[in-house]
Structures are given as C-alpha cells and as structure tokens.
Amino acid sequence: MEAASRRYNLSDGSQMSAGYAVYNLKSGYRFSNDVRIEAGVRNLFDRLYEYSEGYPEMGRSYFVQFNVPL
C-alpha cells in the first residue's frame, strides 16, 4: 500500500491535490536453482490520483518479472 495526505500543488501553491491510497499486489515463486518468477498488479483498484495538478498517474498495470542469479 502506498498512501499520501493532501499536498499543495506546484502550479500555483493555492490549490491542493487530494490525499490517496493505492494498493499493489505481488506474488512469486522461487525454484530450487534460485530462479524466481514474480507477477503482480500495480494500482489494484484502478484509483485515479495525481501528485501534481494536471498530471494524473497511471491506472492499473500488470507485470511479470524473472530473477536469475548470475
């Protein structure tokens, strides 16, 4: 979970962006040879939020990642 309280915008300092909470989910599996595979979702509930006025952040996204020791 990532959360932030409201904040002043950089554009003019007189308006505030609302606070938000974004939930992420990740799971993985480690094979016996230390190779790992992970999959997850960022912004699980597809929350609309922005750090600065006029610059909305990305909606829900998915990922798969492989970790191989060298």
Q: The whole model's pTM is what? A: 0.73
The secondary structure of the chain in percent helix, strand, coil, rounded to multiples of 5, reads 0, 50, 50
Predicted local distance difference test score (pLDDT) of residue 28: 97
Tokens for 20?
């938000």
21-65 confidence digits (pLDDT tens): 999 999 999 998 889 999 999 999 998 888 777 788 899 999 999
Q: How many domains does the chain have?
A: 1
Torsion of CA 61, 26, 66, 60, to 10 degrees: 0
Predicted pLDDT at 61: 96
The closest of 55, 56, 51, 58 to 19, measured between CA atoms, is 51
